[in-house]
Amino acid sequence: MRPGRYTDQGPYDLFRSLLKDAITRWNISPKMVDGLLTSPSGQSQGQTDAYVHDKLISEFALKPRFAETMCLGGASFGVMVNRAMSAVREGRANAVLCIGSGKFLKPSEGSAEMLAKTIAEADFEVPYGPFIPGLYALIARRFMHERNITREDIARVAVSARKWALLNPDARMYGKGEITVEDVIASRPIADPFNYLDCSIPSDGGGVVLVTRADIGHQLSDQPAYVKGYGEYHACGTISGADVLNETGAVQSGAEAFAQANLTPADIDVAQLYDAFSATPLILLENLGFCAPGTSGDFFNSGACDPGGRFPVNTYGGLLSYGHTGDSSGMSVLVEGARQAMGQAGARQITGAENVLVHCYGGMMYDHTTLILGRQP
């Protein structure tokens, strides 16, 4: 679903549109879908709905043997794929619909205060006036200090995301033109080291994936994506409690996913790395083993991650230029990874993309999931 500003639509309106969209793409019916995973929608509006699956089962007239509402922020969708796979492997479901929608109010409309109070310690963090960009900034500043990453290096990530968005008609910044490192640094300061163009774009939207048996996958698509490896790690759930800011849970989740897939970073052709802010793909490139410590800035500066580069990153524009759809943000990262593996990424398709890495995290880089998708099992 194209991200945008759907002011007249609530989370459930988005869920309905998403299901209709999925039905037009895949030949699925209520009898065939016997699993449902979803996540709360509308948290930036102060709604944490813990029983989304019940409402969707009723609305969509499903009779699933397997269903749950999951809440791990951006990591929810990586986790969904893993839980759905387990259910399919155990024979508890044949086809699991994973669906997420999200509304993301502008910070200036009150969401900054609400989200800060949701995500930070009430007595030892909230009194100091943090909000989400400021909390990420604490991770980014330490990373820059220890790894000799410059302000220009992190701005370059936003420049790359914009280049990709210009190839994706669904991206919020499609048709808006290229930006430069200077543009990023000259944009409105938000929370040092982040300026406006270092931040993702609050949007409404969502997405759907179907996790199913290989034989059903081949009935629905000429080229389904296979899950080759998965890793998950849950690091400390507050910034003050996270003792090491440079080494996120991506270190553990990445190592687990590579081991399970029996692959190394050198085997990956394209990566989708959750980019709530411009610095996070650099941290993830280093934590996942794609770049030695301190070299991720040079890697991006070389153009390696841009269109035409040797290691494309966030080929749909990322949250930075495609849009951050609130509770469903991680879904766009996952969907683009699946599309690249399935050869359905249009003008931005990476030819011969055999193995695709998808990394989603939730909270302030608390919950981490790494998926490795491929064209072959």
Residue 363 engages another protein in binding (rule: CB under 8 A): no
Residue 238 engages another protein in binding (rule: CB under 8 A): yes
The contact mask relative to another protein for 66-105 (x = CB under 8 A, - = no) is ----------------------------------------
The contact mask relative to another protein for 190-209 (x = CB under 8 A, - = no) is xxxx----------------
Please state at what angle helix 132-147 crosses helix 280-287, rounded to 10 degrees: 50
Among 142, 176, 218, 310, binds another protein (CB under 8 A): 142
Q: Map residue 233 onto helix, strand or coil.
A: strand
CB of 134 to another protein, least distance (A): 5
Residue 125 engages another protein in binding (rule: CB under 8 A): yes
Longest distance between any two alpha carbons in the chain, whole Å: 55
Among 30, 46, 169, 189, binds another protein (CB under 8 A): 189
Among 8, 90, 123, 222, binds another protein (CB under 8 A): 123
Q: What is the spatial distance between Cα 135 and Cα 172, in angstroms, rounded to a whole number? A: 25
CB of 46 to another protein, least distance (A): 14
Using the rule CB under 8 A, give the single segment among 21-29, 124-132, 310-318, 344-352 that binds another protein: 124-132
Among 89, 145, 218, 310, binds another protein (CB under 8 A): 145
Q: What is the spatial distance between Cα 299 and Cα 151, in angstroms, rounded to a whole number? A: 15
Among 138, 167, 185, 255, binds another protein (CB under 8 A): 138
For the residues of 86-155, what is the DSSP string, one character each? HHHHTTS-SEEEEEEEE----GGGTHHHHHHHHHS-TTTTGGG---HHHHHHHHHHHHHHHHT--HHHHH
Residue 180 engages another protein in binding (rule: CB under 8 A): no
Among 126, 167, 185, 216, binds another protein (CB under 8 A): 126
**Terminal alpha carbon distance of the chain:** 27
- Torsion angle, alpha carbons of 288, 161, 345, 94, to 10: 50
Residue 107 engages another protein in binding (rule: CB under 8 A): yes
CB of 142 to another protein, least distance (A): 4
- With CB under 8 A as the rule, give the number of residues binding another protein: 37
Phi, psi of 114 (to 5 degrees): -65, -45
Name the H helices within 121-263: 132-147, 151-165, 181-186, 214-220, 250-261
Q: For 165, what's the count of Cα atoms within 13 Å in the CB-facing half-sphere?
A: 27
Given 3-state DSSP classes, what are the helix, strand and coil percentages for the chain, each rounded to the nearest 5?
40, 15, 40
Site for another protein in 321-360 (CB under 8 A): none
Residues that bind another protein (CB under 8 A): 107, 110, 112-113, 116-117, 121-131, 133-134, 137-139, 141-142, 145, 188-193, 238-241, 243, 245
